[in-house]
Structure 1
Amino acid sequence: MDLLDFFGGGIIDSVGKIADELITSDEERLEKENEILKTKLQYDFQNKELDTKLMTGQIEVNKIEAQHPNIFIAGWRPAVGWIGAIALAYQFIIYPFLIWLWTFLQSQEIIPKEISYPPVLDIGALWTIVSGMLGIGVMRSFDKTKNIDTKKM
């Protein structure tokens, strides 16, 4: 719940309850309920419009950052992508192989049984980061299927 919902939603509901208590006829009650519904719809529309403007502004910032010649400004997204790819490769390909190898080496008494297994990554945090990056990747895939040349944008 955002700040506008907290203040705006509570005011709209309060006005609706007060109006309901003051109006007696069914016709007047329906008219006031209709006005309250219109107000709620208008409020929701304005809230969505603000969200859209915020997302559009972020997209513009992203475009400017991506064109910057400095690697620390333009390169942070690819860096996060590569780190995510390496972490996923470790977690789902390398780690299971290491566990198998570790168990085999311990059974052959090459590695002492007191030495614990290789570390496991925090997959919850990893999925949060990688899924955000994949959202960007899906948009790029959409551009490719529509033959949109993003280098000219």
Structure 2
Amino acid sequence: MAALIGLAPVISDILDKFLPDKTQAEAAKLEVFKAAQAQQLAELKAMSDIAAAQSATNSVEAASTRLFVAGWRPFVGWICGFAVGFKFIGGPILFMVAQALGHPVTLPSIETEELWPLLLGMLGLGGLRTVEKVKGAA
């Protein structure tokens, strides 16, 4: 879809070479740029429609009283919170206590490469909600 937008300058150069009348070339270029803008606008509208549909779905899920419908987001948030808490607080404390008591302990390694995007995405959405509350928009 974005091909027409990227090709507009190339098409413009081609029109300059093949259309000797400058007025005709400018009119053709204008049509190419209008088509590129229309295409870009259609893509933005499609993305906006998808975001609006997802927002409506999220609202319906959040309003549900069923645990498996409304509860999966908090569940994922709690799992991420526990994982980060264990990685940076609970695990090191457990390791130090075990070492102080003379027990060799090998703690499980938590791979955070997959955890951080999920947690930060959830916190980013929560952060926006906080901004709304502070500004009085919520």
TM-score in same-fold range (> 0.5): yes
| Structure 1 residue runs without a partner (length 5+) | none
Q: Which residue identity does 2:33 align to in structure 1? A: L
Give the Å deviation of 1:124. 1.0
Which residue of the partner structure matches residue 142 of structure 1? Answer: 131
Deviations 1:63-99 (A, max 9, x none): 0111111111011111111111111111111223344
Residue 12 of structure 1 contacts residue 36 of structure 1 at CA under 8 Å; is this kept in 2? Answer: no
Tell me which residue corresponds to 1:56: 52
Match of 2:91 among 84, 91, 95: 95
Distance in 2 of aligned mates of 1:43 and 1:10 = 8
- Alignment counterpart, residue 7 of structure 2, candidates 13, 32, 41: 13
For 1:78, the equivalent position in structure 2 comes to 74
After TM superposition, give the deviation of residue 131 of structure 1 in Å. Answer: 1.5
- The structure-2 alpha-carbon separation of the partners of 1:96 and 1:28, relative to structure 1 and needing over 3 Å to count, comes to farther
Deviation at 1:25, TM superposition (A): 4.6
Task: Give 1:46's match in structure 2, choosing from 42, 47, 65.
Answer: 42
Residue type at the aligned position of 1:111: H
Residue 144 of structure 1, CA deviation: 1.4
Structure 2: 5+ residue stretches without partners: none
Paired residue for 2:117, among 116, 128, 131?
128
Q: Identity over the aligned pairs, expressed in percent?
A: 27
Q: Could you say what secondary structure the match of 1:123 adopts?
A: coil
Per the TM alignment, residue 122 of structure 1 is displaced from its structure 2 partner at its CA by 1.1
Aligned residue for 1:118? 107
Moved more, 119-128 or 35-44: 35-44
Distance 1:11 1:137 in 2: 36
Equivalent residue of 1:124, what SS?
A: coil
Q: Is the 8 A contact 2:16 2:25 kept in 1?
A: yes
